[in-house]
Amino acid sequence: MGDSFRQEKPARKFRKKSQVLQPIEELITGVKSGNRRDLAKAITLIESNSQEHFQHGQALLKELTPYTGNSIRVGITGVPGAGKSTFIETFGESLCRDGYKVAVLAVDPSSTVTGGSILGDKTRMENLSRNQNAFVRPSPSGGVLGGVHRKTRETMLLCEAAGYDIILVETVGVGQSEVIVRGMVDFFMLLVITGAGDELQGMKKGIMELADLIVVNKADGDNLPAARKTMREYNGILHFLQPATKGWETQALTCSALQGNGIQEIWNTVMRFEREAKESGVFEERRKSQTKEWLHSMISDRVLNSFFHHPDIKSRFPEIESEVISGNKTASQAVDILMDLFSK
């Protein structure tokens, strides 16, 4: 019964609401005032694969863009068992107590396979979700008119327009998610646990080179000495790796998300990074580079979407695909035929 409620009832409600879209002026006012319900509605618009909703959402985003860009965007990933959800909730609550407004977004490229979303995020961060200075949003699914690249970037902009000072972008998938998030944020954090000897051998060097900070979590109780040893091992190896950000020396720190120890030092490091990166010009340079990358990815998404929705492509593709699989045509020949159909 629970599954039926989640899958079927929201779909019926969505069709009713889609008949009458809330006026853009109302949403603009609501988002700018920090109304979390209106922010959620605005994000739903830009995530929607409906053409009508997409156009409505883009018009909304255009009006809100002048109010964006004033946050610090922090990406957070972690090895399995690192306590990422607990860390994000503790970190977010600490920032909220300091007077900041915090938005937590999740990125899961693997959800594009099934079109699903991470519905458990709000459950995993129950306390943070209830905080009036926080906003927790499950991962957008992929699909037409752009996948996680566009939807997450535009969600960040809406959160900034709503006055959120800190955007925490959590990687939920594996592999490509780290690279995707690194390309969206100012500062990238990697959570690890003790046992670095085995862990360092199994960890991809590339992921470590994406990090501006490595955090050894669960540094409490009997595990504290081992966590400190792991921190020293990471700091030792980081000297031999290419820094993720020009002019910044990546370091490893310890913390206990359960007890809150080390959380303030981590935030101090993020603030120091922001200050130094802005002074050197690296911060602005990275933002411009990410905007350029965003443009290119949107062009790719739009062209790909147009290609597969072209009527001639849709009608001929299954047949041509079967011929390639059976060996009657080469992939190159199939592409030439499809591109010819598309160009007409």
Residues in the chain: 344
Paired with 256 in beta bridges are: 261
Three-state DSSP class for residue 20: coil
On whether both 31 and 93 belong to a single domain, the answer is no
On whether both 48 and 74 belong to a single domain, the answer is no
On whether both 98 and 59 belong to a single domain, the answer is no
With beta carbons less than 8 A apart as the criterion, state whether 215 and 190 touch: yes
Three-state DSSP class for residue 252: strand
Assigned token pair, 174? 């594996």
Listed range (63-77, 164-178, 251-265) with the worst mean pLDDT: 164-178
**Residue after which a domain boundary falls, among 67, 86, 112:** 67
**Residue after which a domain boundary falls, among 280, 299, 324:** 280
**pLDDT reported for residue 337:** 95
Separation of alpha carbons 255 and 265, rounded Å: 9
**Residue after which a domain boundary falls, among 242, 259, 280:** 280
How confident is the model over 122-147, as a mean pLDDT?
72
On whether both 59 and 73 belong to a single domain, the answer is no
Angle in degrees, 0-180, between the axes of helices 331-343 and 311-326, rounded to the nearest 10:
170
Range of the domain at 208: 68-280
On whether both 162 and 26 belong to a single domain, the answer is no
**pLDDT reported for residue 321:** 95
How confident is the model over 116-123, as a mean pLDDT?
46
Read off the CATH number of the domain in which 235 is found: 3.40.50.300
How confident is the model over 230-246, as a mean pLDDT?
90
On whether both 140 and 254 belong to a single domain, the answer is yes
On whether both 96 and 44 belong to a single domain, the answer is no
In the structure, what pLDDT confidence band is assigned to residue 167 with cuts at 50, 70 and 90?
very high
Separation of alpha carbons 321 and 229, rounded Å: 55
On whether both 202 and 191 belong to a single domain, the answer is yes
On whether both 183 and 258 belong to a single domain, the answer is yes
The domain total for the chain is 3
- Per cent of the chain over pLDDT 70 is 82
Assigned token pair, 162? 């709503």
* pLDDT tens by residue, 186-207: 999 999 988 644 555 455 567 8
**pLDDT reported for residue 75:** 95
**pLDDT reported for residue 109:** 60
How confident is the model over 204-223, as a mean pLDDT?
89
Residue 342 pLDDT more than 50?
A: yes
How confident is the model over 49-70, as a mean pLDDT?
89
On whether both 208 and 81 belong to a single domain, the answer is yes
